Each structure stands twice: as structure tokens, then as C-alpha cells.
Amino acid sequence: MSETERLRELAWRKSRRGLRWNLLRDVVAICSLKWMNTSEIQDVMMVIHGITRPKTLSLLHELERPEYVIQEKDDKDMSYKWGATPKGVRAWFPMGQQASIPAGLVQVVETTKRVND
């Protein structure tokens, strides 16, 4: 692990404010990395935290109300996908940018996305 990755992981862990806050932050992080459909996000959250699919869906809807994440229809494959807004990135990440997302979370998202493609 490089020094930069170690510092990112440390900043991510220092921002801990409770389990629910961490779950919401990780959902925003997942949505900011790639536009994903609901089942892909649920798969990632199952791998990372072991939470159920309905719980992940309720977290997505909770973050959608203040517009931290949005759901839009993808014209290419005619499915609905979730993505994070700039407001969500600024509000939920320690440094206010995607660079603070730890490598482990990025790796799980990339693996899940490749499996589903």
C-alpha cells in the first residue's frame, strides 16, 4: 500500500460517526464511482457491510430526498441508474472529493461492475 493510499484510508476511518452514517457515506461513494443500477449497488453493499437488499434501497431513497444521489434513466440500455451529485460528494467525503475514497471500496465496485457486464 502506497503512502497516499494509506493516508486516504486513515482519513476515511477518522471520519467515523456511527454505523448508519458510514453506510450512507459508502452508498454515496459507490454512486460517485460509477453509475450503477439498484441491484449492483445492493451487491456491493452486501459484500462490504453484509446489509440486506431492502436496507440498501431504503438508504438510497434516504439520500435521494436531499439530492445527494439521483436516479436517471440510461437511454442506451433503458434501465435506471444511480449516481452521486456534486452536492453529495462535497457533503459526505472527508476531503470533499472522490480522491478520498479508499482503494478497497473502489476495487469492490470495479469487480462487481465487471461481473455484471
Which CATH number fits the domain that encloses residue 32? Answer: 1.10.10.10
Domains contained in the chain, number:
1
pLDDT at 13: 65
Q: What is the distance between the alpha carbons of residues 87 and 73, in angstroms, rounded to a whole number?
A: 20
Tell me the pLDDT tens digit for each residue of 44-87: 999 988 999 999 999 999 999 999 999 999 888 888 999 999 99
53: buried, middle or exposed (CB in 10 Å: 19+, 13-18, 0-12)?
Answer: middle
How confident is the model at residue 39, as a pLDDT? Answer: 92
pTM here is: 0.79
β-pair partners for 81: 72
Judge whether 70 lies within some domain.
yes
In a domain, 117, yes or no: no
Residues with Cβ within 8 Å of residue 100, at least 6 apart in sequence: 8, 11, 12, 93, 94
Tell me: the pLDDT tens digits for 71-81? 999 888 888 99
In a domain, residue 115? The reply is no
Query: Which domain, by its residues, includes 42?
Result: 3-110
